[in-house]
């Protein structure tokens, strides 16, 4: 099984995933961003883009990597990864379904003000990358993402509470 933890950049996916993993027996965290990092390391570089998810190889490589890891280890993969483009999510989820890999898709949500406060509080200079995705997240949440995932509203939750909520949902 895959427990996919989605949400905008800065929503707490990585922190929450690390807290979810010990709560789900026989689970491991696999950050699909590492697949993107591998693609970014190709020289000479792939065509210019502002997001490695736009490269067509990224999505099937995420599916194939997850499948191979699960074939090797069994258990559950906890995958923190922002996917805000609906066709990309459809491609990934269909690829996993082709391999009969069940997916529990969660999205960490907080209102815009809370997200801004969290992003601005992380570093002396707020991440322009994270700020850039607030509007695309809001649009995805409004149009498709909240229908496709189990929404965990983290506005008033600590990462540990969000992790407990996700693990509890997975156990039921």
User: How is the chain split into domains, by residue range?
Assistant: 2-171
pLDDT at 45: 95
Pick the CATH number of 2-171 from 3.40.50.1820, 1.20.140.10, 3.30.360.10, 3.40.50.300: 3.40.50.300
Per-chain mean pLDDT for the chain: 95
For residues 123-150, average pLDDT:
92
With 90 as the cut, is the pLDDT of residue 9 above it? no
Sheet of strand 150-153, all strands in order from the earlier edge strand to the far edge: 27-29, 76-80, 2-6, 103-109, 150-153
With 80 as the cut, is the pLDDT of residue 124 above it? no
pLDDT in tens, 12-52: 999 999 999 999 999 999 999 999 999 999 999 999 999 99
In sequence order, what are the beta bridge partners of 78?
3, 29
């Amino acid at each position: 099984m895959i427990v996919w933890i989605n949400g905008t950049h800065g929503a707490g996916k990585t922190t929450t995933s690390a807290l979810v993993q010990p709560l789900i027996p026989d689970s491991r965290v696999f950050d699909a961003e590492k697949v993107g990092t591998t693609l970014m390391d190709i020289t000479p570089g792939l065509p210019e883009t502002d997001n490695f998810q736009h490269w067509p190889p990224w999505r099937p490589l995420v599916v194939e990597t997850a499948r191979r890891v699960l074939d090797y280890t069994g258990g559950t993969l906890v995958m923190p990864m922002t996917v805000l483009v609906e066709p990309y999510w459809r491609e990934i989820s269909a690829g996993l379904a082709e391999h009969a890999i069940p997916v529990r898709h969660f999205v960490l949500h907080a209102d815009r003000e809370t997200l801004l406060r969290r992003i601005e509080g992380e570093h002396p200079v707020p991440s322009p990358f994270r700020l850039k995705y607030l509007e695309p997240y809001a649009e995805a949440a409004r149009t498709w993402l909240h229908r496709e995932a189990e929404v965990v509203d983290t506005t008033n939750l600590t990462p540990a509470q969000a992790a407990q909520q996700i693990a509890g949902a997975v156990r039921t």
